[in-house]
């Protein structure tokens, strides 16, 4: 083989291996992208101004699942307030004895979906439900829990308001019992004072350092305070400060609506309140 033919042969080999490497890179890239799309599709969030991933027709039964930790998930439902579409967050805590639910989805139909998905996804029975105040985005599904004889716990003020508003009957044990054991986990409830509503409570998960702020806490992208019909705008900042000083080691903070984050959500809520009070 002369020098030129040898060089051509080498060129050919290196060109084909270059193509091979390019094909390999493309395949890896494509599968990573595919994988990424699969992960994010389950945890897409919806802020009021974004287009809805679920069409109007299945809105009333759609539910999203967002994993915070292996044992703690957000159940996210959708509802309308003031002509705008909002998402509402509740929690599902998985223990070795069963699941605990914090707040029901926004409608009864979404609560039916919650029941079936807790069965299918997690193979758990529901131990009890905690409701964090007497509004429909927290309590609409309470009658369905009652039909299944699942205990529903609240404070006595929430129980009183719920009865007046026709949200069903709750057992007001949370005034006396603020720490609830649930299998290998536990929940603590705390009433920080009048904020979004007179009866708003927060839920602390000591094992995972997750704080469910409910409607007392706004998401970082919230530009206003949402439904303030029953709010006490002067007391609300103090209530959030009490939560901040009680749970300074919270790693995750879940608001009633919008995306979860860290303790900044509490500081952001105080900022919104201070600017709305001036």
Stretch that binds Zn ion, among 27-35, 55-63, 96-104, 211-219 (CB under 5 A): 211-219
State in angstroms the smallest separation of the CB of 70 from Zn ion.
29
**Number of amino acids touching Zn ion (CB under 5 A):** 2
Question: 226: phi > 0 → left, psi -120 to 50 → alpha, else beta; which?
Answer: left
Of 221, 211, 256, residue with least CA distance to 88:
256
Question: Catalytic one among 75, 133, 194, 268?
Answer: 133
- Nearer CB in complex with Zn ion: 154/185: 154
Taking a C-beta distance cutoff of 8 angstroms, is the pair 139, 153 a contact?
Answer: no
227 in active site:
yes
State in angstroms the smallest separation of the CB of 226 from Zn ion.
8
- Nearer CB in complex with Zn ion: 215/225: 215
Residue 194 lies near Zn ion (rule: CB under 5 A): no
Question: Catalytic one among 75, 89, 103, 196?
Answer: 196
Q: Which residues contact 253 (CB under 8 A, 6 or more apart)?
A: 210, 211, 213, 217, 260, 261, 262, 263, 265, 266
Stretch that binds Zn ion, among 59-67, 68-76, 111-119, 207-215 (CB under 5 A): 207-215
State in angstroms the smallest separation of the CB of 239 from Zn ion.
14
Question: Catalytic one among 136, 175, 227, 232?
Answer: 227
Alpha carbon 205 to its chain's center: 14
135 in active site:
yes
Stretch that binds Zn ion, among 43-51, 66-74, 114-122, 214-222 (CB under 5 A): 214-222
> Apex CA 21: angle with CA 15 and CA 30, to 5°?
140
Instruction: Choose which of 144, 180, 215, 265 interacts with Zn ion (CB under 5 A).
Output: 215
CA atoms within 13 A on the CB side of 209: 9
Distances (CA, A) of 146 to 129, 138, 203: 10, 15, 21
Residue 131, token pair as written in the block: 């409701």
Stretch that binds Zn ion, among 49-57, 75-83, 128-136, 171-179 (CB under 5 A): 128-136
58 in active site:
no
State in angstroms the smallest separation of the CB of 35 from Zn ion.
38
133 in active site:
yes
Taking a C-beta distance cutoff of 8 angstroms, is the pair 28, 36 a contact?
Answer: no
Strand partners, 171: 153
Instruction: Choose which of 75, 76, 124, 135 interacts with Zn ion (CB under 5 A).
Output: 135
Residue 248, token pair as written in the block: 């300074």
Which residues contact Zn ion by CB under 5 A? 135, 215
Active site residues: 133, 135, 137, 196, 227
């Amino acid at each position: 083989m002369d020098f030129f033919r040898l060089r051509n042969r080498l060129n050919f080999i290196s060109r084909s291996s270059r193509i091979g490497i390019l094909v390999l890179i493309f395949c890896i890239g494509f599968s990573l992208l595919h994988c990424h799309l699969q992960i994010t599709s389950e945890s897409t969030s919806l802020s009021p101004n974004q287009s809805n991933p679920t069409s109007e027709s299945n809105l009333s039964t759609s539910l999203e699942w967002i994993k915070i930790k292996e044992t703690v998930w957000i159940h996210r439902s959708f509802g309308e307030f003031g002509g705008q579409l909002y998402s509402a967050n509740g929690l599902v805590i998985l223990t070795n004895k069963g699941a605990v639910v914090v707040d029901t989805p926004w409608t009864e139909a979404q609560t039916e979906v919650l029941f079936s998905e807790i069965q299918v996804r997690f193979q758990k029975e529901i131990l009890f439900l905690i409701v964090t105040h007497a509004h429909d985005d927290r309590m609409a599904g309470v009658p369905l829990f009652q039909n299944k004889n699942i205990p529903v716990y609240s404070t006595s003020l929430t129980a009183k308001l719920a009865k007046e508003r026709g949200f069903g009957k709750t057992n007001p044990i949370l005034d006396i019992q603020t720490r609830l054991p649930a299998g290998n986990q536990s929940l603590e409830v705390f009433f920080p004072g009048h904020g979004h509503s007179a009866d708003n409570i927060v839920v602390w998960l000591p094992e995972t350092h997750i704080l469910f702020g409910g409607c007392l806490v706004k998401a970082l992208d919230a530009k206003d305070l949402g439904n303030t019909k029953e709010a006490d705008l002067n007391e609300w900042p103090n209530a959030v400060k009490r939560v901040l000083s009680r749970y300074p080691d919270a790693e995750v903070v879940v608001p009633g609506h919008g995306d979860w984050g860290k303790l900044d959500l509490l500081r952001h809520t105080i900022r919104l309140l201070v600017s709305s009070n001036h």
